[in-house]
Amino acid sequence: MTEQGFETLQLHGGQTVDKETGSRAAPIYQTTSYVFENADQAAGRFELSDPGNIYTRITNPTNAVLEERLTLLE
């Protein structure tokens, strides 16, 4: 991958092209909660020992792209 310039990072930093759809823009996940595979996974997520989404106010894939983009710009 080539190094991206500042202007490109402003628009595309912190995200990857969706492999299934080919979408270039980061999707907006309009959800408040997430499903866990089992109680152990839920416990690990809430203990923060298992990375993943818990609740939108805490973690959200859309927010993660923004956070990564800001990190790259700094």
- For 41-54, write each residue's pLDDT tens digit: 999 999 999 988 88
| Domain residue extents for the chain | 6-73
| pLDDT at residue 43 in the model | 95
Question: How high is the pLDDT of residue 7?
Answer: 86
Q: Which of 33, 17, 21, 19 is nearest to 65 (CA)?
A: 17
- pLDDT at residue 29 in the model: 81
Residues 23-42 have pLDDT tens digits of 888 888 888 889 999 999 99
Per-residue confidence (pLDDT) for residue 13, from 0 to 100:
84
Judged by phi (left if over 0) then psi (alpha if -120 to 50, else beta), residue 34 lies in beta
C-beta separation of 14 from 68 below 8 A: yes
Give the count of beta carbons closer than 10 Å to the beta carbon of residue 2. Answer: 5
Tell me the CB-side half-sphere exposure of residue 19, using CA atoms within 13 A: 0
Which of the four pLDDT bands, split at 50, 70 and 90, describes residue 2? low
